[in-house]
Amino acid sequence: MSKIVTRTNFRVVAEVYEFGKPDANWSERKANSIKEQIKRHIDDIGQVYIEYDTNTTCSHCGYEWEVDPETKEPLCCSKAQQEFEQEK
């Protein structure tokens, strides 16, 4: 039995350069602008949507946000843990 490779769900991804961005929402606005230009200028487009990665960091220490699976207490730093305790 031989392997058959089938390609499906083709999509075009346009990455927005983020260096020198004037403010925090610049990349999102630029991506939406590109999306509208694609819809206006190109035929045979089924859908145009924006995908992005989400990073969650601690506002106190800047490290990746991690919580204990059972207690939901933050694990990154003592300030986050203190804030968690105060909000209980």
- Any domain includes 17: yes
Residue 32: closest CA among 9, 51, 53, 54? 51
- Any domain includes 1: no
CA 18 to chain centre: 13
- Any domain includes 2: no
Range of the domain at 12: 8-53
pLDDT tens, position by position, for the chain (88 residues)?
Answer: 666 778 888 877 777 777 766 777 888 888 889 889 988 888 887 888 888 888 888 988 988 889 999 998 999 899 999 999 998 7
- Considering its fold, how many domains does the chain have in total? 2
- Any domain includes 3: no
